[in-house]
Amino acid sequence: MTDSASSSLSRRAVLGAFAATLVTAAPTYSNAAGFLRGGGDIRRLKMYSARTGERIDMIYWIEGHYIKDAVREINYFMRDWRTNDVKNIDLRTVDLMTAAHNLMDATEPYLLISGYRSPKTNAMLRSRSRGVAKNSRHLRGQAADLRLSSRSVHQMARAASACRAGGVGRYSKSNFVHMDCGPVRSWGR
């Protein structure tokens, strides 16, 4: 009986240590790349744009390295569709988007509402809405406004916020979530 009790105690101790490790390893760092570590050696992004009719479904990261051609395609896909201007998209934002998508266990691609915005487009949008920031992270290629028909704004924002990798804005009336690689913060309802 003593052997059984000590074996049980030992098993409990091991399980307890494992649980403590999981809690300690929970994502608290400042970018989604760290959150994606445990998700395998491949990162995949799926999106479509109703504005251009384009779709993207690609692996952009394998075994610790970004794939240059895939990143170039992401940059083009997330361009300012009004002006056709292309900007290098900050890969921390792409990683945040991917991490949130994985957390939601979503199979449908994101609908890209807005990626990069040229100064001209941002100024035009600001003249129409007070919700557009003068120094928006969209101008720097550091933000994306996204929608999933299978998930609510609340679910999307919650997943993105759980990554603790940047800014997350809820725009419930317009049915989209803003994700960026800036300081960790959240806003909206």
> What CATH number corresponds to the domain at position 62?
3.30.1380.10
Residue 11 lies in a domain: no
Residue span of the structural domain in which 166 resides: 30-188
In the chain, the number of structural domains is 1
Residue 101 lies in a domain: yes
Query: Which positions of the chain have pLDDT values less than 70?
Result: 1-40
Q: To the nearest whole percent, how much of the chain has pLDDT over 70? A: 79
pLDDT of amino acid 12: 47
Q: Are 93 and 129 in contact (CB under 8 A)?
A: no
Residue 81 in tokens: 């569709």
Rounded Cα distance between 163 and 93, Å, is: 11
Rounded Cα distance between 164 and 29, Å, is: 7
Integer-rounded Cα radius of gyration of the chain = 20
pLDDT of amino acid 31: 45
Find the helix or strand (DSSP H, E) in which 146 lies. strand 143-147
Q: Are 61 and 67 in contact (CB under 8 A)?
A: yes
* Degrees to nearest 5, angle at CA 70 with 149 and 118: 70
pLDDT of amino acid 130: 76
Rounded Cα distance between 107 and 11, Å, is: 37
Residue 22 lies in a domain: no
